Chain A
Amino acid sequence: MTGKSATSRKMLLLAPLLLFLGLAYVVPFLGVVRWSFTLPEPGVGQYRALLTDPLVQSVFARTLRICLVVTAATLVMAYAIAYVWVRGSSVQRMLAEFCILVPFWISVLTRAFGWLAMLSNRGLINTWLQSAGIISEPLALARNELGVIIGMTHFLIPFAVFPIASAMRSIDERVLLAARGMGASRIRIFWTVFVPLTYGGLIGAALIVFVFALGFFVTPAILGGGRSVMVAELVYLRIFQSPDWGLGAAISVVLVLFIGVLLALMRRFIKPAHLVG
């Protein structure tokens, strides 16, 4: 019975958060759901439009494509950083930690513009390559999908590092020693023991990154230059520019449902505690 009152006391501590989530997200979202069935007229017309409108479909396809590529690129780079962070020398560890933490201090907007300064036609990379005589025409690095992918990957790497590093840390050193003692080379140990033991962290990281990427708005809007619109930007355009509130709302609902399914999958694969390291 003390247990029961202790639980209810803990619930009380949670109450402000629940209230905030309810007022700031659940209630407005229910409003959005209503719009999707009522604007411009009641019915499932907007959802039917989603299935037929080629523009909406191409945006969805592009979003999925970008998110898959971004997830893959992020995982590879985050794995390398996490490896150095967990198993490197003390100097390497400090460097890795710096690389992981610094992005958190700089706003998304600043970073997107920073990449624009690097990648645009007259940005650092193109000017340097041109003045070095390596290329004559500027490479199309920004204002396209490539730019979006670079910017998003850069943003998402730290979020993938934590679950991966957490999985790496929980590997028993003796298991690796055992493999060495049996004559296995370092490369073999890495691929047949180390990496498989971090699959949990990799799956967690993949889901976090993918879900996060699906809702990206600022980075694609700036680095895509309006030419590679992703779902979130499409919602924005429908609501603030067309104005086609019903369709925007329906797209939002589909996106939220999709993310909900992914999160449910994630819960099945990994414990939330593993994600924060």
Chain B
Amino acid sequence: MPQSIQLGDAKAAEIKAVSIGKTFGAFHALRNLSLDIGRGEFLTLLGPSGSGKTTFLMILAGFTAPTTGRLMMDGKDITNVPAEDRSYGMVFQGYALFPHLTVEQNIAFPLKVRGRSSADIKRKVGEMVQRVGLTGHETKLPAKLSGGQQQRVALARALVFEPSVLLLDEPFSALDKNLREMMQQEVKRLHEETGTTFVFVTHDQSEALALSSRVAIFNHGELLQVGKPQDVYERPESRFVAEFLGEINLLPLDALRLEGDRAAGQFEERTIVLNRTMAMTGPNAVAAVRPEHMVICTGPQNGDRNAITCRVEGATYFGASTKYHLKTRRGTSLAVSMPTAATSPIAPQTDVWVSWPVHQGFLLPAGG
């Protein structure tokens, strides 16, 4: 029986990563990463392939040692505590179920390791099977289960021993859209029920926004921004974050000037006004606006709005919404997404106005 170090009695732990770095040879997989993960939080690590999400998760779990930096849990330094003593729940990409054990035996494994009595194990496993909706499949081997069912076994196995932290590495990447959405809701519910700290990895931005209490965006081994879904989506601090979280229109501005808590600049002979959200570094910047925050209209609208003239180039029908592709007079491409029900089709080559509320636009540095 492994000597389990008592790391904290709380069911949900608080983790602090302090300037974590990880190199493989000369390659920097993670650079100077500091991140606080709050008690009971649902934190999502989001980033493109190869950005270091799995590496960071492996460091959190204790399977990989960081090259530099420290990891604290509930105030204690756990940098050198091995994985088996941290005992976080983990759902691996591809699930990593024990192929030779039945559903029940898989879920019972962590309890057996902890030397629980067989009556206790039976009760707990039964409870968990019911909770994740696997009743009737208890004696099946993983190979006999569908992808979604395997996913549930992995979740049950990771949660059954009430770990203080649950780590999930792209758990839904192999599932189809419907099943994926169902499992997302289930994970969300399990998070609310257990109150455990969840760290979830994905490279699907809509999944990240839908599930998390906070999102941490990675790129090239760096943590670019951490914040509530709405904040990172509507107030990205960098162009990468803005573009990674969803489609965005970028309008280059000239003659940037400050007017109180607002900024204004010129875009194709029109003045664009924005909230001042970032420190301005020069006279040039881009105005960034999400396609769904813009509307197509017949004239410059009144109120606290910006408007520019465009020509419709085409439209793509997405069911609930329709996306219009437009070009400004000097050839900047724009996309405007509007609820299909709220608009009547607009023919290509029509000249229109595109407008958006001042508070929906934000400034980004002109460069990158």
Contacts and interface: CB of A to CB of B under 8 A. Distances in A.
Nearest to B93: A174
Nearest to B91: A178
Contacts of B92: 174, 177-178
A180 interface: yes
A192 B109 CA distance: 10
A262 B290 CA distance: 70
B109 A182 contact: yes
A181 B61 contact: yes
Interface stretch (A12-20, A183-191, A233-241, A249-257): A183-191
B298 interface: no
Interface stretch (B80-88, B212-220, B313-321): B80-88
A193 interface: yes
A197 B101 CA distance: 10
Given A172-B94, A174-B92, A178-B92, A183 B100 contact: no
B161 A182 contact: yes
A174 B58 CA distance: 11
Contacts of B99: 175, 197
Contact of B2 (A175, A178, A185, A192): A185
Interface in B184-240: none
A182 B94 contact: no
B110 to A, nearest CB: 4
Contacts, number: 67
A15 B161 CA distance: 61
Interface in B1-56: 1-2, 4
Nearest to A173: B96
Contact of A182 (B1, B62, B110): B110
B161 A178 contact: no
Interface residues of B, number: 28
B96 A178 contact: yes
A174 B2 CA distance: 20
A182 B157 CA distance: 9
A185 B110 contact: no
A178 B63 CA distance: 10
Contact of A196 (B83, B93, B100, B113): B100
B96 A175 contact: yes
B90 interface: yes
B65 interface: no
B63 A183 contact: no
A232 to B, nearest CB: 38
Nearest to B106: A178
B97 interface: yes
Contacts of B2: 183-185, 188
A180 B97 contact: no
Among A183, A188, A197, find the residue whose CB has the most chain B CB atoms closer than 10 A: A183
Contact of B98 (A181, A185, A193): A193
B63 A177 contact: yes
B84 A185 contact: yes
B114 interface: yes
Contact of B63 (A175, A180, A188, A196): A180
Contacts of A188: 2, 113
Given A196-B100, A197-B100, A181 B94 contact: no
Interface in A153-202: 172, 174-175, 177-185, 188, 192-193, 196-197, 199
Given A172-B94, A175-B96, A175-B99, A184 B113 contact: yes
Contacts of A184: 2, 84, 109, 113
A182 B98 contact: no
B84 A174 contact: no
Nearest to A193: B98
B96 A183 contact: no
B295 to A, nearest CB: 48
B96 A174 contact: yes
A183 B98 contact: no
Closest 3 CB pairs of A and B: A174-B96, A182-B110, A178-B96
28 contacts: A172-B94, A174-B93, A175-B96, A177-B83, A177-B90, A178-B90, A178-B98, A179-B109, A180-B63, A180-B83, A180-B84, A181-B87, A181-B88, A182-B87, A182-B113, A182-B157, A183-B2, A183-B85, A183-B110, A183-B114, A183-B161, A185-B1, A185-B84, A188-B2, A188-B113, A192-B109, A193-B98, A197-B100
Given A182-B109, A183-B110, 6 more contacts: A175-B99, A177-B92, A182-B87, A183-B161, A184-B2, A188-B2
